Structures are given as structure tokens and as C-alpha cells.
Chain A
Amino acid sequence: MGNTLQVVIIISLTLMVIGLAMVLAMGGFGFTVPPSSVRSLATIFLNTTFNLDTKYRYVSAMSPEAVTAIVWDYRGLDTLFETSVMFIAIVGALAISRGASEKLLKGFSKTRGGMSLIVKTITRIIIVMIASVGLSITLHGHLTPGGGFQGGATIAVAPMLLIITFSIYLFSKMITVSKAVTLRSIGLIGIALSAFIVLIIAILHGDLAYIFQNQPKLYSHYGLPSYAEVMVLGGTLLLFNTFETLAVAFGFTALFILFILPEEVVKDIIKGEE
């Protein structure tokens, strides 16, 4: 049994190396898959995501990053539902273990939990850098690859590290599940408001606009600024990314706390109230 497994592993690793080498060699010899010429669909998106030309102005998302333009502008409603999927997952986790995280605080003692002093000290510096990198990914979501979910997931590594190195008891002193869920809800409210913000602006001017509108359209000349002096702001995309980061980072934080609850602390709660 052990030998068969080893043979399988060796064969699959060999195949993987050959496959990767072939791709690299083909690229080196000038065969590229897919072909390097831009296809028509890509041409359409490249023309419409960031284009000041009057012909395209009313269909342009004014964001140099095509993926973010598609995700939060062209199919913004889809992305909203994607966000709500994770929210529903968190609601489920909260329903199963309600009240459990508050119980952690009672188990808190001053005894030094978690890992050794060296790991703790390094973690204290690292989390700051992780948060900085995460926010950079978020705030450049409309300029370079990245965006709200990616930035939020990066930031969520920081609470994960804190939980592992400082122990869940100490971490529950810093932030509880209810606080994390509150912050996540603020992020979701922000996303909802960003979807309506252009409509609200238009109504204040006594006119109408589309939901999830970002830039001016042919029949509705309202939109958030895509330029400020020399900066590309990306209109609502920046707002969406920022609030999505808040929602995702604290959503993951709440989930991490719930995942890592020690069984002996929460056994009674998870068993249910028959």
C-alpha cells in the first residue's frame, strides 16, 4: 500500500514537471496558448473599461483594471449576491454557536497562553505590515489586480495570527464575535449605500439614475468623480472595494473565532437546548 502510494506520487510529480517544462519550452519557442493576438471579447472590454473617447464615454467604467470594472460595475448585482453568500454562511455559524464566544471571556485568565515570547514579538510587527499590504491591495483595486475581497482576505490573516500566537482567550479580550459582526454589518451597509449613491445624488438633483450606476450614462448624466487632478479614483469602485474589505476582513475574523472555539468551553452550547 505504502509502495503504491509512493509510485503514484512519483509518477504524478514527474508528469507535473514534464508538463510545466513543456509549457515553458513552448513559450520559449514561440508557441503560445491561447494565441497572443487579442480576441474580440477582450478588445471590447479593453475599449470600454477605461476610455475617455466620446464614442465610448457612456459605456466606460473609467477604471484601468478591467476585472474590477467588470466585477463591481458591469455585473455589480452578481457581486453583491456573492458577498451575501458569505454573510449567510456567517449567519449559520453564529446560529450554531450563539453565545459561545462570550463564554470565552469567563475562561480568561492572566496565565500566559499562546506561543513563546519570540513568536509573539515577531507577530506584533508582522500584523501591522499585513494590514498595510491588505489595504494597499484594496485601495489599488481599481488600478492594479486586487480589490476588496482580496484585500480583506489578506487583512484577515492578521487576526488569524493573533489567535494562534496569543491564544483565543487573549484575543477575545481584543475583539469579540459581536463586535466583528457589527463592523462587518457596517461594511455591508456601506456596500448597499454605494450601490444607491449615484441614484441618491440624481434624486437630489431632481432626476433619476440607475442602481449600481458608476459613471454617467446616456440617459442619466450623473456619476461619481473618476478623476481628481492627476489621480484615477474609479468612482464607486473605490467605495465598493473599501466597504467590501471591511466586510470580508471582519467576517473572516468572526468565522476564525467561531472555528477555533475550544470544545470543552462550548460543548453545552453546541449540543443545543432539547
Chain B
Amino acid sequence: MGRLYRAIPVSLLVFIVYIVFTGAITPYDIITGVLVSIVIGIITANIVISNPYKPFDPRRWAHTIVYTLYYFFVAEVKAHIDVIKRILSPKMPINPGIVKIPIRVNSDYAITAVANSITNTPGTVVVEIDENGKYFYVHWIDVKRIDEEGAYRSISYIFEKYASKVFD
């Protein structure tokens, strides 16, 4: 029974992708789309999703929107301006290095969201994740703090705050 519940959000994703890729909503597309999404949803439900109730929680979606807006219009812009300054400055003020920062979110999706957020902002790249999923190793263009707590505060604290509300 759990598998069927888990299949519902997966089927929705499949249906949306199917319709977007097909680019039409004639009756044929909708009928085949529903069939395809049911089949794929049931087959892959256990691989994709562990908790079927999370995708239907409106608070999580609200946090997702806030996170997206914050990420693309604040975090990204700040990081871009910072890196542009370093590139244009004739003295090239970089101090690169790899720091180890702890992970304080739990689910796989939250860890992935944080890691991709860090990588996608210019200046920081996640180069490796600890085997047990407890630490990131992050390459940082300007290492300000090398202790775990300080690096955590400057790099991933704000992403983890949102990611834990969305995914955990």
C-alpha cells in the first residue's frame, strides 16, 4: 500500500514531464500520459521517494518558493559580485583552499540541494562528500575561516536553514 501512495507524486512528475516534452494536450496525449505515469510511477516509486506526504505539504512549497527567490536574487547575486570584483581587481585577491564543513541536514534530497546550492554559487565548489554523509569538502576561492564552525557559518548555514525546512 505504501508503494501506491509513494507512486502518486512520482506519477505527477512523470505526467508533467510527458506533457511538457510532447508539447500538446490532445485527448491522445492525456490518455497515454496517464497510462505512462501510472506504470512508471508504480515501478520507480520505491527508488524515488521515501515519504509520500512531504510533496503535498503546502508549507514545504512555500519554503521552496522563498528559498528559490532568496537563492537566485540574493545569494547568487552577492556571490557573482564578489567574484567579479576579484577578477577585475589587478591585484587578484584570491586565497584558495579546501575546507571541511559539517552537514546538519538529514535527508538525501536536502543534502543534495545544499551541495548543489554551494556548487552553483560562484566561488565555492563541493569537491567531495564524506562517505557517511557527514561532511562536505568545499573548494573556496577566498578562505576566510578554516575551522569547521566558521566555514559552516559563512558557506552553508543559510542554505541548510532553508533546505531543512523544505526537505527534512
Chain A contact residues, CB within 8 Å of chain B: 112, 116-118, 120-122, 124-125, 127-129, 131-133, 135-136, 139-140, 143, 229-233
CA distance A132 to B20 in the complex (A): 10
Which residue of the partner chain B has the closest CB to A123?
B47
Judge whether A118 and B112 touch: CB under 8 Å: yes
Judge whether B115 and A128 touch: CB under 8 Å: no
Judge whether A139 and B32 touch: CB under 8 Å: yes
Judge whether A117 and B111 touch: CB under 8 Å: yes
Other-chain residue from A118, A128, A139, A140 in contact with B10 (beta carbon distance below 8 A): A128
- Residues in B with CB closer than 8 Å to A124 are 47-48
Which residue of the partner chain A has the closest CB to B33?
A136
Judge whether B10 and A136 touch: CB under 8 Å: no
Judge whether A133 and B115 touch: CB under 8 Å: no
CA distance A232 to B21 in the complex (A): 19
List the one stretch of B125-133, B140-148, B151-159 in contact with chain A.
Answer: B125-133
CA distance A129 to B26 in the complex (A): 21
- Residues in B with CB closer than 8 Å to A122 are 112
Chain B contact residues, CB within 8 Å of chain A: 10, 13-14, 17-18, 21-22, 26-29, 31-33, 36-37, 40, 44, 47-48, 108-109, 111-112, 115-116, 126, 128-129, 131, 133
CA distance A117 to B13 in the complex (A): 22
Judge whether B115 and A118 touch: CB under 8 Å: yes
- Residues in A with CB closer than 8 Å to B131 are 112
Other-chain residue from A117, A135, A139 in contact with B129 (beta carbon distance below 8 A): A117
CA distance A133 to B33 in the complex (A): 10
CA distance A229 to B31 in the complex (A): 13
- Residues in B with CB closer than 8 Å to A118 are 111-112, 115-116, 126, 129
Which residue of the partner chain A has the closest CB to B32?
A139
Chain B nearest CB: distance from A144 CB in Å? 8
Other-chain residue from B22, B28, B40, B126 in contact with A231 (beta carbon distance below 8 A): B28
- Could you write out 14 A-B pairs with CB less than 8 Å apart? A117-B133, A121-B108, A127-B44, A127-B47, A128-B14, A128-B17, A129-B13, A132-B21, A132-B36, A133-B18, A135-B36, A135-B40, A136-B18, A230-B26
Chain A nearest CB: distance from B41 CB in Å? 8
CA distance A233 to B26 in the complex (A): 13
Which residue of the partner chain A has the closest CB to B111?
A117
CA distance A132 to B44 in the complex (A): 11
Judge whether A116 and B18 touch: CB under 8 Å: no
CA distance A43 to B104 in the complex (A): 66
Q: Assuming A117-B133, A132-B13, what are 4 further A-B pairs, CB within 8 angstroms?
A: A124-B47, A127-B47, A139-B32, A140-B22
CA distance A232 to B31 in the complex (A): 12
Q: Given A132-B36, A231-B26, are A117 and B48 also a contact pair (CB < 8 Å)?
A: no
- Residues in A with CB closer than 8 Å to B26 are 230-231
Judge whether A136 and B126 touch: CB under 8 Å: no
